[in-house]
Amino acid sequence: MVRVVDLVDTIKQEFAPAANKKAPVPWTKEQVRDLFKSLDKNGNGKLSKEELKAAFRTLGSRWSSYRARRALRHVDANGDGFISNEELNDLVNYALERGYKL
């Protein structure tokens, strides 16, 4: 006879992986970096405000437009309105500090 406890254990084991997958986990540095790189749509090696906006939307920001503006102000060291490769590291850290989850 199957005991209820065993049954519950079996069910738990079957559903646990799916549950784990669904639980939000923070983005890793590598994932965020890859995301920003992949969102350089026109491939000029810099991220414009529009490209940043798309990136923050993907990250899960509900205020992607605002966030893109803030990120530019915060990270754009030479003030050209774009995030270059040299500035990308700061941008990644900035995004990580926001604590977005996958």
The minimum distance between CB 57 and Ca ion, in angstroms, equals 16
Hey, what amino acid is at 71? A
Question: What is the x/- site pattern for Ca ion, positions 54-93, by CB under 5 A?
Answer: ----------------------x-x-x-x-x---------
Residue 6 found at the interface with Ca ion (CB under 5 A): no
**Other Cβ atoms closer than 10 A to 48:** 18
Beta strands in the chain (DSSP E): none
Is residue 15 a contact partner of residue 7, using CB atoms and an 8 Å limit?
A: no
Which CB, 31 or 84, lies closer to Ca ion? 84
Q: Which residues bind Ca ion (CB under 5 A)?
A: 40, 42, 44, 46, 76, 78, 80, 82, 84
